[in-house]
Structure 1
Amino acid sequence: MKRNYACRSNEHEIARRGFLGTMLGTAGVVGGLGAFTNRSIATELERKQKRVVVFNMAGGISQLETWDPKPGTDTGGPFRAIPTSVPGVHISELLPKTAKLMHHLALVRSINIKENDHGKGRYAMWTGRRQTPAQEFPQIGAVMAKSLGADKNALPGHIRVSSSTGGRSNDSAYLGPAFASISIASGKPPANSARPEGMTEKQDILRNDFRRSADERFSLRRRSAQTDAYAQSYEQAQQLMANRDVFDITKESPKDHERYGKHELGQHSLLARRLLENGVTFVQVTHSNYDTHNENFNFHLEQVGEFDKAYSALVEDLVVRGMLDSTLIIVMSEFGRTPRINQYYGRDHWGTAWSICLGGAGIQRGAVIGSTNENGTAVKDREVDHGNLFHTYLQAVGVDSLGSFSIGGQDIPVADPSHAPIEELLA
């Protein structure tokens, strides 16, 4: 669906270069050359490997049309609240399928990040810290990929499923390019991952053997982190070429395509499941653009319906396949939307009192943390922010959020040490 509801920020238009071209040209590497498995269902050992999937509701989804409805108030809008599978907990009627799964999930209804700017809000929610010119911090995907051992896998450990044609981001900061995200285009194998036409498998093997030999000789004299990254990027590309089928959702059943929805989000979510099953540590799926300064209700009616179908299908599959206990699933934005409805039937930016949904891994099932007042204009109890959430995400998958990364001989805290996890949200 292509409509113009947004504030027309340049942040909504990000160009991406070709996938492998970017990998090789910038020596952006996803480390690790471990053996790859394409089994569709994880073994018991693999089920214990922690993974994370984030639904990025880009632009700022409305908490009032999703997780914290206020029907019958001057801010509530036209939609009803419906009961969920957790007694006493209600969410928007736009989420009927998700409502039946709330006993697997949890809500945080008391977020105040004190930011109403897209860029600053996104930075806070994805890094757990305020944006400052003094230091760039890695985003949650890079931190998870590093902390959960993604460099031991053949496939990239930090993948964004998007509509664009691929590329590597700079979201790993001081953790380096090995843990930066790679963007995979809609339900297709990575671009340029097929062997060149006319080249036989034997020729390809000989060519790569020669490259490895040359790299090893060069490394004896001038080895550095940059040369290691360059060499590993080629190895990663070769692994991807050997395992292109992992990204091909046409191999999934027609029934699954229908369950997830044949719209873009449904197909991206189905690919996310496929990636998680095959050992990818962190997957981001983006649904946009929720920046509804105009016609907020019409937009959410359609978009949240798409989300409800795709998201509920993924949660159900993680439960049935025994993966939810090892997979953290997060639904978040850079902020929420104003309780006040503007003259264009829209809602504006609102970082003061809003909500997210999460579940799986070490999250307490059925929990509801905090609340807002009657019309949603302020947090009523248990106020938390981006720093608390970041700590909680890490703790939920067994990462010590109070630990540090050793970078160039310097210890840098994994998460903002001035914050702490939401203990009552952890199982």
Structure 2
Amino acid sequence: MLSFYGKKQRYCDGVSRREFLKVGGFAAGALGGFGLPQLLQAEDAAGTGSSHKSVIHIFLGGGPPHQDMWEIKTDAPKEIRGEFNPIDTNVPGIQIGECFPKIAAMMDKMAVIRSVVGCSGGHDSFQCFSGWNRRSLDSIGGRPSIGSAVAKLKGTVEPAVPASVALAAKTRHAPWSYPGGPGFLGAGFSPFQPEGEGMADLKLNNVSLDRLSDRKSLLKGLDGLRRDVDASGMINGMDAFTQAAFGVLTSSKLVDALDISKEDPKIRARYGDGKPYKYQYDGAPTCNDHLLIARRLVEVGVRSVTLSYGRWDSHGANFDLVRHHGTRLDQGVAALVQDLDERGILDDVTVIVWGEFGRTPRINPGAGRDHWPRVSCALLAGGGMQTGQAIGATNRLGEYAQERPVDMQEVVSTIYHNLGINPMTTTLQDPTGRPQFLTDIREPIRELV
């Protein structure tokens, strides 16, 4: 294990900064034996785009209840309507659930989709992060996630900062912390995971953070390098991508972005920390620090950040869960959008909040809602989109999309469009040499772009 020992700083999910600085995570989750040099080499081969557009993808693992969030069913009978009332937003004619007053106050900078269809029913993040059923092209590695595709198509903004980062805290139901994978693109396009499995792979003893700038000291401690690499300048003749990997290790940009102790305390207070964590069970914590870290990451050049927020599988106590999770999500997302706007980068950063499917219209005997793939919902902001609108609607009982059904692939195509990638024409070559479109439904959501 390659551990860099420095000043201890503990994140909200209980992981210390010391624990983060274990370089196995730089092996992109140690998938297929691919290290950071190979990842950088694969990204460079694709070329680097000139623009820096980003996406922050907030996955609500478990399936959020659409009718308790963005479209309260005031005319439905009691056994369907639920406990929440609608509240006005700052856009005339648009109301959302009472648990989201901060988002309501800035709805002009956001858009809600009340009629998301095409959910495969999988209890995981795969479709949200890629647009595809997880079985699609499974025989050749599967479909790549948005983060991996943008890493391939756009490359890194600069070599010391990965194109794609996954912040998802590890969950007992592992598919909810799936970070989005490279699919048929190969392990070189996996997202960088600060808490990835590769953390346990390497160890460097007696090297502090202050000494990382000395590459010779670093080389002497790397288990994977031969001891005959001496101080004679051979490092200059090494593979350029290995040098770039060392650049990541010795650069402060990525480490600083992940260290929220460097953030203005007033900004941190605006986001909140999402505690106390409740209703987590086998899912993710409501970790608002991850939203702040996501903003810090896109600022230093990350193109795609994914995270898992809360555990929304509300088969019981649905309304208590939404009160807890919803108020924390409201604070964090509103702070994120305000923060991006104040920094002048909101038009360059797409924020999306959604889950794998919706919840049943009828409330079960345990005051919960069960799985409902027929319709779901999404909240979007930034990305240069036409915000301040609500798109689509379900019927009176929240059973199906009655107005303007929006397929999940349309949402993903919109994200690609916002990232400066044309989903109508762009393809990725699979291992058989065949071009594969990014989505089947390639036109972005017309109301937003």
Shorter-chain TM-score bucket reads 0.7 to 0.9
Amino acid of the structure 2 residue aligned with 1:98: I
Matched, 1:406 2:413: no
Q: 1:327 aligns with which of 335, 340, 349?
A: 349
Whether the 8 Å contact between 2:163 and 2:303 is mirrored in structure 1 is yes
Once the two structures are superposed, the pairs formed by residues 332-371 of structure 1 within 5 Å of their partners are: 332-371=354-393
Structure 1 residue 346: Cα displacement: 0.4
- 2:447 corresponds in structure 1 to 424
Matched, 1:184 2:194: yes
- 2:263 corresponds in structure 1 to 252
Structure 1 residue 22: Cα displacement: 4.8
Amino acid of the structure 2 residue aligned with 1:346: G
- 1:140 corresponds in structure 2 to 146
- 2:108 corresponds in structure 1 to 103
- 1:128 corresponds in structure 2 to 131
Whether the 8 Å contact between 1:84 and 1:100 is mirrored in structure 2 is yes
- 1:197 corresponds in structure 2 to 206
Closer/same/farther in 2, CA of residues 243 and 376 from structure 1, 3 Å limit? closer
Amino acid of the structure 2 residue aligned with 1:288: G
What percentage of residue pairs aligned between the two structures are identical? 28
- 2:34 corresponds in structure 1 to 27
Structure 1 residue 154: Cα displacement: 1.4
1:225-257 deviations in Å (ceiling 9; x for gaps): xxx98x478436524577522211011122122
- 1:51 corresponds in structure 2 to 54
Q: Secondary structure at the match of 2:167?
A: strand
Amino acid of the structure 2 residue aligned with 1:301: R
Count of residues in correspondence between the two structures: 384
Amino acid of the structure 1 residue aligned with 2:183: A
Structure 1 residue 138: Cα displacement: 0.6
Structure 1 residue 413: Cα displacement: 2.6
Once the two structures are superposed, the pairs formed by residues 157-236 of structure 1 within 5 Å of their partners are: 157-164=163-170, 171-185=181-195, 196-197=205-206, 200=211, 204-205=215-216, 208=219, 210=229, 213=234, 231=242, 234-235=245-246
- 2:340 corresponds in structure 1 to 318
Whether the 8 Å contact between 1:363 and 1:425 is mirrored in structure 2 is yes
Whether the 8 Å contact between 2:316 and 2:367 is mirrored in structure 1 is yes
Whether the 8 Å contact between 1:193 and 1:240 is mirrored in structure 2 is no
Matched, 1:374 2:363: no
- 2:69 corresponds in structure 1 to 66
Structure 1 residue 316: Cα displacement: 0.3
Structure 1 residue 140: Cα displacement: 1.6
Q: Distance in 1 between matches of 2:439 and 2:169?
A: 32
Closer/same/farther in 2, CA of residues 299 and 404 from structure 1, 3 Å limit? same
Comparing 21-30 with 100-109, greater Cα deviation is found at 21-30
Comparing 256-265 with 25-34, greater Cα deviation is found at 25-34
Whether the 8 Å contact between 1:195 and 1:241 is mirrored in structure 2 is no
Once the two structures are superposed, the pairs formed by residues 225-304 of structure 1 within 5 Å of their partners are: 231=242, 234-235=245-246, 237-239=248-250, 243-263=254-274, 265-304=287-326
Amino acid of the structure 2 residue aligned with 1:312: A
Q: Secondary structure at the match of 1:53?
A: strand
Cα RMSD (Å): 3.6
TM-score by length of 2: 0.76
Q: Distance in 1 between matches of 2:237 and 2:51?
A: 36
Q: Distance in 2 between matches of 1:288 and 1:338?
A: 19
Structure 1 residue 396: Cα displacement: 2.1
Whether the 8 Å contact between 1:164 and 1:184 is mirrored in structure 2 is no
- 1:385 corresponds in structure 2 to 407
Q: Secondary structure at the match of 1:284?
A: strand
1:270-312 deviations in Å (ceiling 9; x for gaps): 1111112111111122212100101000011011111111110
Structure 1 residue 317: Cα displacement: 0.7
- 1:94 corresponds in structure 2 to 99
Whether the 8 Å contact between 1:139 and 1:171 is mirrored in structure 2 is yes
- 2:281 corresponds in structure 1 to none
Matched, 1:155 2:161: yes
Q: Distance in 2 between matches of 1:342 and 1:117?
A: 21
Structure 1 residue 179: Cα displacement: 2.4
Q: Distance in 1 between matches of 2:435 and 2:23?
A: 31
Structure 1 residue 205: Cα displacement: 3.0
Q: Distance in 1 between matches of 2:90 and 2:368?
A: 30
Whether the 8 Å contact between 2:151 and 2:189 is mirrored in structure 1 is yes
Closer/same/farther in 2, CA of residues 19 and 389 from structure 1, 3 Å limit? farther
Structure 1 residue 393: Cα displacement: 1.3
TM-score by length of 1: 0.79
- 2:277 corresponds in structure 1 to none
**Which blocks of at least 5 consecutive residues in structure 2 are unaligned?**
1-18, 44-48, 172-176, 221-228, 275-285
Comparing 287-296 with 168-177, greater Cα deviation is found at 168-177
Amino acid of the structure 2 residue aligned with 1:107: V
**Which blocks of at least 5 consecutive residues in structure 1 are unaligned?**
1-15, 35-45, 220-227
Q: Secondary structure at the match of 1:150?
A: coil
Structure 1 residue 203: Cα displacement: 5.5
1:142-183 deviations in Å (ceiling 9; x for gaps): 123333332644112211223349x99670112233321222
Structure 1 residue 380: Cα displacement: 0.6
Closer/same/farther in 2, CA of residues 394 and 107 from structure 1, 3 Å limit? same
Closer/same/farther in 2, CA of residues 409 and 140 from structure 1, 3 Å limit? same
Whether the 8 Å contact between 1:32 and 1:154 is mirrored in structure 2 is no
Amino acid of the structure 2 residue aligned with 1:63: H
Q: Distance in 1 between matches of 2:178 and 2:84?
A: 40
Whether the 8 Å contact between 2:112 and 2:380 is mirrored in structure 1 is yes
Closer/same/farther in 2, CA of residues 329 and 168 from structure 1, 3 Å limit? closer
Amino acid of the structure 1 residue aligned with 2:70: W
Closer/same/farther in 2, CA of residues 232 and 392 from structure 1, 3 Å limit? farther
Q: Distance in 1 between matches of 2:123 and 2:321?
A: 19
